[in-house]
């Protein structure tokens, strides 16, 4: 599922969440430069990634991504909700915090879940 969604030029990284939950969701890291270009072309003022991911047009564009790829998966595998984050996932952190990726760029799911627990709770408690 994650690899399929990364085919979209606006998705830099994605982690699907759903273990022991009622439905599948995702944490999405936008691709910064393509998002900046998309914003320019679609009349969204660019200030920063954190500003852009709160814009309704940008959120709608990522919803379109879900609508595009979800039909390729069974109903229970489809992403129902997502959260966008402005924090890039990295293999090494200069600030000493836990890295979200292994040296081979695989997701460290437990670390990502810990760092994004607030967003995940919001998804499942809405």
Question: For the segment 62-97, what is each residue's pLDDT rounded down to a tens digit?
Answer: 999 999 999 999 999 999 999 999 999 999 887 878
Q: Is the pLDDT of residue 107 over 80?
A: yes
Q: What is the mean pLDDT of the chain?
A: 95
Domain 2-125 sits in CATH 3.30.300.30: yes
Share of the chain above pLDDT 90, in %: 92
Instruction: Characterize the bridge pairing of strands 79-84 and 24-30.
Output: parallel
C-alpha 71/C-alpha 115 separation (Å) is 29
Mean predicted confidence (pLDDT) in 91-114: 90
Q: Is the pLDDT of residue 101 over 90?
A: yes
- Judged by DSSP in three states, 118 sits in helix
| pLDDT confidence of residue 11 | 98
Q: Is the pLDDT of residue 35 over 90?
A: yes
Token pair listed for 104: 């081979």
């Amino acid at each position: 599922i994650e690899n399929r969604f990364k085919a979209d030029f606006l998705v830099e990284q994605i982690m699907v969440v759903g273990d022991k939950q009622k439905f599948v969701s995702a944490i999405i890291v936008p691709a910064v430069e393509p998002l900046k270009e998309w914003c320019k072309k679609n009349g969204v003022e660019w200030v920063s990634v954190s500003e852009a991911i709160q814009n309704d047009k940008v959120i709608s564009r990522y919803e379109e991504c879900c609508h595009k790829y979800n039909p390729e998966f069974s109903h229970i595998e489809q992403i129902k909700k997502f959260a966008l984050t402005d924090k890039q996932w990295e293999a090494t952190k200069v600030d000493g915090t836990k890295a979200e990726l292994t040296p081979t760029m695989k997701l460290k799911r437990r670390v990502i879940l810990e760092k994004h627990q607030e967003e995940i709770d919001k998804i499942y408690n809405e």
